[in-house]
Structure 1
Amino acid sequence: MNWITNYVRPKISSLLAPREVPENLWIKCPETGEMVFHKDLEANQWVIPSSGHHMRITAKERLKHFFDDGAFEEIEFAKVPLDPLKFRDERRYTERLKDAKAKTGLEDSVLVATGAIDALPIVAAVQDFSFMGGSLGMAAGEAIVTACERAVAERRPLVLFAGSGGARMQEGILSLMQLPRTTVAVQLVKEAGLPYIVVLTNPTTGGVTASYAMLGDVHIAEPGALIGFAGPRVIEQTIREKLPEGFQRSEYLMEHGMVDMVVHRHELKGTIANLLKLLTKTPASAVARTPATSAKKPVPAIIDNEDEPVAEAAQ
């Protein structure tokens, strides 16, 4: 055995060989082009420190930063048919769903959970854009309905983080039926006298803005979020005019009365906690003593996908 050939040379080669660097080790700021170390970005809740640009964040990470001590309990919702229309374009819809579930670890684009912010028990629903663009399908609609039902049952405020590209085309009319279903569910929360706060994240577009995302008691937007029904390019091509600078962005919409306030991600928890205390008339000193009790009233039934009233409303 040649010691130099078999031992020394491989050691030297390993030291001099180029090392592979993970692609996601550094993340580029879309606004300034600055490269930010991903660990620093993650620790800063995915907000670029220098420019303040808000990157997209997963549903679980958002809830971890939002709830007290990062503790929350996920709420399961009823199962729905996976591919009711047997839809296929370049790939089968079932294959796309399988990939999205493996990528995100979620059952669909909406995650519902219970927890507390500043010791105030609430129900929260978060749309995850990384799951097929946060699109609204039957499962996502069922999750929103479940969140509303749980809020009414446990007499808790409801906070919803909207982030979606719109309705899910692979489910056709069944996706559009979720607009009236979720609208009815939100109305039940309002009739129960419970606060409903919506946080609009980047982007919130399409059918989501035509239903539950625009029905909140208070609408909060993250800085720079794109919010609207159709995108700016589609609108420009339709009206054949140049849109104003920043059109459909959070700041522009707040100036024109579509959004109540624009709040930095680091300040969302404190802002929402203060709003909920005001809306529930809960003294700050009494929040910690407020128990998360079960329902005092029966939960109103939510109409199902196959009910005729929903089909009529969707037409």
Structure 2
Amino acid sequence: MLHSMTGFAAHKGMANGYSWGWDLRGVNSKGLDLRLRVPDWIEGLEGVLRAELSKKLSRGAVTLSLRVQKDDEDSQQALNLGQLSTVLEAMAEVETQAMDRGLSLAPSHASDILALRGVLDTASIETDTKALRAAIVADLPDLLTSFLEMRRNEGEALDSVMKDQLNQVEALTEASAEAAEKRRDDVAANLRANLARVLENADNVDEGRVAQELAMIAVKTDVTEELDRLRAHVVAARDLLAKGSPVGRKLDFLMQEFNREANTLCSKAQSVDLTGIGLDLKAVIDQMREQVQNVE
């Protein structure tokens, strides 16, 4: 079964006097790019979560956000002075750059600064966060289950669309073969006419050179290899779809091969009908390539 790289899941949990909210999002990417935004005061949490995500995901730009708060009176909010200093320095630089360009910025309010991530931390009087970390990690599978389910559903839709597109490519390939066969007589007639014109206007023609030129022309107009490779690529693509994710990279490479054969087919066409079919073929391949970009 195919899996899409696009997905979203949200989940809430609580344990040991704490509550938390998860947010997991995924989009397409060439590789696996994990971006975690988790409380740094829970020792070792990010490393464990990163390892667990890597076991279940093979590709995609995935962002995991986690907000944790203590539910009783022991929790308190405190300024993160280091982060506050960084923010204020950045604001001063922005204002300086704006003034140098003659721009006027609206005044900042303390509430705006406090709302920035990391400036105001939720801290706890507890120093041992092992139990909290274990509870949060134990809650991760529920989030991942929802996330992977959405990716599978998206993958099923991609599978259906791509199978239909492969059917179109197959049909257009066979239509190309028929068009190539129909143009055979026209190509031969043109070749004979051109050859006769050359022989009539040239003395002491090198028969060997003429034979060589004819062979080159024949190669430049023969699309048999391109059609055979297109048929083989259709078979390979269907095999990959049947195999299921992770096959995104292989499908992406195969789309490049599809496109290369379609381009060569158009360049060798020498026929209005064959050129039209080749252009239709390229359009379907481009559409299929867009879908492949989302396959894990």
Shorter chain as normaliser: what TM range?
Answer: under 0.3
TM-score of the superposed pair, with normalisation by structure 1: 0.19
More helix, by proportion:
2
